[in-house]
Amino acid sequence: MALIVQKYGGMCLATLERIGLAADRVVGSVKAGDRVVAVVSARGKTTDELLGEAQILAKNPPARELDALLATGEQESAALLAIAIGSRGVPAVSMGPYQCGIFTTSTHGHARVRGIDGNAIRKNLEGGKVVVVAGFVGVNESGDLTTLGRGGSDKTAVVIAHALSADRCEVYKDVAGLSTANPKVVPEAQKIDCASFDEMLELSATGAKILQADAVEIAKRFGIPIHIRPQFTDGAGTRVEDTDLERAEVAGCTLSKDEAIVTLTGVPDRPGKLTQVFETLAGRAVNVDTIIVNPSLDGTAQISFSVPLKDLETTLAACRGLERQVSHMGVFHHEPVAKVSIVGVGMQHHPGVAARMFRAISEEQVNILAVTTSEIKITCAVAAAEGEKALRAVHAAFGLGQESSQSPVPDPPSKAGSS
Amino acid sequence: MALIVQKYGGMCLATLERIGLAADRVVGSVKAGDRVVAVVSARGKTTDELLGEAQILAKNPPARELDALLATGEQESAALLAIAIGSRGVPAVSMGPYQCGIFTTSTHGHARVRGIDGNAIRKNLEGGKVVVVAGFVGVNESGDLTTLGRGGSDKTAVVIAHALSADRCEVYKDVAGLSTANPKVVPEAQKIDCASFDEMLELSATGAKILQADAVEIAKRFGIPIHIRPQFTDGAGTRVEDTDLERAEVAGCTLSKDEAIVTLTGVPDRPGKLTQVFETLAGRAVNVDTIIVNPSLDGTAQISFSVPLKDLETTLAACRGLERQVSHMGVFHHEPVAKVSIVGVGMQHHPGVAARMFRAISEEQVNILAVTTSEIKITCAVAAAEGEKALRAVHAAFGLGQESSQSPVPDPPSKAGSS
């Protein structure tokens, strides 16, 4: 008898019929002898609709009230799924954050989970009940509702799996699993059978929307295997787990859009040069992503960083403020920009991966604006209009569309190392 | 500086525009120097829609899950109204039952309020904030969400007014106030300026949907004046309060439909005869309303009672079970039945009120099936198809459609006393 946490996303619950299918899954697991905690998101587009209404009522709705508003979406899903499970003869109870004791920090909209008191859930499980938990929401020290950020239900599922020492955490999706690239952009993309935590983490962080990056990080830290499974078929899905198998150099590739790259030139190259720039931006709540700093040759540094397109105006205003204070400093930017990333644990041991990526992109006459790498990821920024073309080229160059995406690609050209 | 509880019903919040109007009202009160607690219902038809969905998912959805589901409607309204008030420059916070400490009995669907810890609300009020409370919902001993029954937001408002020793409780409606009869049925119905608690109680209990009867009962017990006010105009509305003014004999009349009357004949007239009948029905969760028992002449009693039409089948099955156990007992019933009631504190001192009611109905060739009275109410059951005609006749007979509904009607025929 295993204890399974099953997470059902918004698209898996978008209609009453789909809620019924989710209930069938839960009941199937119970009949197979398992105990189940189901974690649910808000149905379909509910969250966006509620947000839209709030924004009609107020230009900047207070974050506390937005959280109270959005929390209703998950509570609704939880009650409906519990009702559907109950109607199939399996007792089920829905639980909200007050009942489960999901305690978070105070930051409305992006609260972090501080801890969870698993006892209430455990008590219901021991009473032979399926527990359906409203994902995405928690309670802060003041007793107010908080939310965990977009995709936060994934985090709820992983945190509960950890608190209950669950045997596994299944995440149901309306797709076959994690793919080598977004199939909407790269039709020949292949489903990946197995990914490491690190690969999943980089893929989530660079644009794969299948799992929330925070959730993957928690799963990695506590060694909780996540099984991404299709809701509507019996497909094998994708296993995300600790793995030390021999890996293909590239597991998948991603595309993230709606960014801009800002470059500062002539920044005096002395200690503290970065602090001033990024403290200024943080003070204006700009969420800086990639930062690229090259060694200085002439005593002045060049600093590039990417920001969400929506923050560009604020960012440029802040930078121009700095520009006035520092002689010889210059500011320029590229927008809109897309980032193409390849991710793979194997690239650490396969030389020439970066070179192959650059060649694939340049053969499409796409100019690479900037490059950053981590141990298992290479990201190239390109003009947004060319992002999809670059993604398809990279996907093909690493043979990800072939029948077995795990087989090594022959004869890699080896101009540069992978990290 | 007064402390006002303002209750906004579902129709007052049905659209974002109406939520804006409610916010304008609240802000107007704050600008006038008052502190405000707003209590809200779910928007428009939300509750019915959620119920409908639950009933598609399960024939008999568990009451606990229904409560968790329905509670989202009020929480949504509360957050949206708080956002709308905030956007008008007045700080506002929404609060749910966990935050307000609204403690109830365990009975899902019809929980009774045990108590309320007003401190959390008070703290926010003292911080200069408007508090928007999700009505209709509470928390039981197990920490689960409960609901207070249809119209339960009225009860929330009155209970909070009591807990905070509020100066008054205003209930906003999409009508001008309490009327002498439902204007949809009796076009000449007049708005009532003032009603006593007892009148309001009987009017609510016999079909006036403007205030929940339980809420009126609590308001009466604690002497909390309720002011029913139109949301969309500056009309004076209806004041419901303790009053010892000279009163017209009839304040208003009501019509309730979808009932049936069941009559048992030949019930042996001995102690315990009623107990067995009504315990049997209670055991089947039939909600018996009016009970009429006539003195027995021949050693057997005749017992009549009304039940909701939807419970008729269950009721008849139970009665036929009794019939088989008791020789000479018979069962017959009338369906569908409507009840016409007149209510007025003044009728205690005006003889002939009942007779005038009976004459008005019979002059329309409508047969009266049964009669019950309380001190301030007379109810006549008639065939459902004739209910509206009877209501109009009664309304006219007591001069309720005249310019001043408070003026006594001349020359009452006096065949019978009023109670």
Q: How far apart (Å, rounded) are the C-alpha atoms in residues B354 and B377? A: 9
User: Do the beta carbons of residue A372 and residue A339 sit within 8 Å?
Assistant: no
Beta strands in B189-344 (DSSP E): 194-196, 226-230, 238-241, 252-268, 291-293, 300-308, 330-343
Q: What is the DSSP string of B114-158?
A: EEE-THHHHHHHHTT-EEEEE-SEEE-TTS-EEE--TTHHHHHHH
Is A98 in the B-facing interface, judged by CB distances under 8 Å? yes
Helices A63-86, A46-57: inter-axial angle, 10-degree rounding: 150
Locate A346 and state its tokens. Answer: 């194997």
Instruction: Indicate if the pLDDT at residue A230 is higher than 50.
Output: yes
Q: Shortest CB distance from A57 goes to which of B53, B64, B83?
A: B83
- Asked if B387 has any chain A CB less than 8 Å from its own CB, the reply is no
Annotation: CATH topology of A244-419: VC0802-like (3.30.2130)
What is the rounded average pLDDT of the residues B210-217?
Answer: 89
A133 close to B (CB below 8 A): no
Q: What percent of chain A has pLDDT over 70?
A: 93
- Strands of A226-230's sheet, edge to edge? A92-95, A130-134, A35-40, A3-8, A168-173, A226-230, A238-241, A194-196
Lowest mean pLDDT among B71-85, B208-222, B291-305: B291-305
What are A406's two structure tokens?
A: 């795990």
Q: What are the pLDDT digits (tens) for B28-49?
A: 999 999 999 999 999 999 999 9
For the domain spanning B245-419, the CATH number is 3.30.2130.10
**Does A93 lie at the interface with B, CB-CB under 8 angstroms?**
yes
The first and second tokens of residue A70, run together, are 């959005």
Best residue in A83, A102, A108, A147 to probe B by mutation, most B CBs within 10 Å? A83
B113, containing H or E segment: strand B113-116
Angstrom distance (rounded) from CA B153 to CA A35:
38
Which positions ≥6 away from B197 have C-beta within 8 Å?
B216, B219, B220, B240, B241, B242
Q: For chain A, count helices (H), then strands (E).
A: 12, 18
Chain B nearest CA to A253, separation (Å) = 39
Measured between beta carbons, the chain A residues lying within 8 angstroms of B57 are: 16, 19-20, 23, 80, 83-84, 87
Which residues in A lie closer than 8 A to residue B56 (C-beta atoms)? 16
Residue of A nearest to B17 (CA): A57
Please check whether residue A57 touches B, CB under 8 A.
Answer: yes
Distance CA A396, CA A402 (A): 9
Model-level pTM?
Answer: 0.77
B69 touches chain A (CB under 8 A): yes
The rounded distance, in Å, linking the Cα atoms of A219 and A241 is 9
With an 8 Å Cβ cutoff, are B53 and A16 in contact?
A: yes
Cα(A286)–Cα(A304) distance, rounded to whole angstroms? 14
Supply the DSSP string of A188-219, one letter for each residue: T--B-SEEEHHHHHHHHHTT--SS-HHHHHHH
Fold topology of A3-174: Carbamate kinase (3.40.1160)
pLDDT tens per residue across span A24-74: 999 999 999 999 999 999 999 999 999 999 999 999 999 999 999 999 999
Sign of CA dihedral B81, B84, B87, B88: negative
Q: Is B50 on the interface with A (CB under 8 A)?
A: yes
Question: Residue A251, Cα to own-chain centre: how many angstroms?
Answer: 16
State residue B227's pLDDT score: 96
CB contact under 8 A, A65 and B76: no
What is the residue extent of each domain of chain A?
3-174, 244-419
CB-based contact B58 A83, cutoff 8 Å: yes
Nearest CB among B59, B61, B99 relative to A143 is that of B99
- What percentage of residues in chain A have a pLDDT greater than 90? 53
The ipTM assigned to this model is: 0.73
- Alpha-carbon span B331 to A194, nearest angstrom: 71
* B273-283 helix and B312-325 helix, angle to the nearest 10 degrees: 140
**A79 CB within 8 Å of a chain B CB:** yes
Question: CB–CB of A16 and B65 under 8 A?
Answer: no
Selected for mutation to probe chain A from B15, B49, B59, B65 (highest A CB count within 10 Å) is B65
Least confident window among A292-296, B155-159, B326-330: A292-296
- Measured between beta carbons, which residues in chain A are less than 8 angstroms from residue B75? 68-69, 71-72, 75
Half-sphere exposure of B291 (CA within 13 A, CB side): 10
* Most A CBs within 10 Å, among B24, B51, B69, B70, to test the A interface: B69
What number of CA atoms fall less than 13 Å from residue B224's CA on the CB side?
30
B72/A72 Cβ within 8 A: yes
- Res A89 pLDDT > 80: yes
Give B172 to chain A, closest Cα distance, Å. Answer: 20
pLDDT band at residue B411 using 50, 70 and 90 as cut-offs:
very low
Q: Do A252 and A199 meet the contact criterion of CB atoms below 8 Å apart?
A: yes
Chain B environment of A59 (Cβ under 8 Å): 87
Mutate which: A80, A103, A130, vs B, most B CBs within 10 A:
A80
Tell whether the model's pLDDT for residue B154 goes beyond 80: yes
Which residue from A minimizes the CA distance to B23?
A57
CB contact under 8 A, A65 and B84: no
> Mutating which of A21, A49, A65, A131 best tests the B interface, going by the most B Cβ atoms within 10 A?
A65
Closest listed residue to residue B239, CA positions, set B252, B249, B253, B225:
B225
Task: Classify residue B404 as exposed, middle or buried by CB count within 10 Å of its CB (0-12, 13-18, 19+).
Answer: exposed
Kindly state whether A14 is in contact with chain B, defined as any CB-CB distance less than 8 angstroms.
Answer: no
Say if A362 is an interface residue toward chain B (CB within 8 Å): no
Cβ of residue A53 closer than 8 Å to a chain B Cβ: yes
Q: B325: distance to nearest CA of chain A, Å?
A: 36
Interface of A with B in 102-131 (CB under 8 A): 120
CA gap A352, B109 in Å, rounded:
67
Burial class (CB in 10 A: 0-12, 13-18, 19+), B32: exposed
Q: Is A418 helix (H, G, I), strand (E, B) or coil?
A: coil
Q: Is A69 on the interface with B (CB under 8 A)?
A: yes
Lowest mean pLDDT among A260-264, A388-392, B166-170, B202-206: B202-206
Task: Count CB neighbours of A314 within 10 A.
Answer: 14
Residues A36 and A39: their CA atoms lie apart, in Å, by 10
User: Residue A84: which of B20, B57, B99 has the nearest Cβ?
Assistant: B57
CB contacts < 8 A, A to B, total 117
**Is residue A76 helix, strand or coil?**
helix
DSSP 8-state secondary structure symbol assigned to residue A366: P
By C-alpha distance, which of A3, A335, A388 is closest to A168?
A3
CB proximity A302 to B under 8 Å? no
Q: Which helix (H) or strand (E) holds B77?
A: helix B63-86
Does residue B416 surpass a pLDDT of 50?
no
Distances (CA, A) of B225 to A135, A142, A358, B217, B321: 42, 33, 77, 11, 48
| Chain A residue closest in CA terms to B54 | A80
Q: In this complex, which of B57, B68, B94 lies closest to A87 when CB atoms are compared?
A: B57
Dump pLDDT digits (tens) for A382-418: 999 999 999 999 999 988 886 444 433 333 333 333 3
**pLDDT tens profile B365-392:** 988 888 887 778 888 889 999 999 999 9
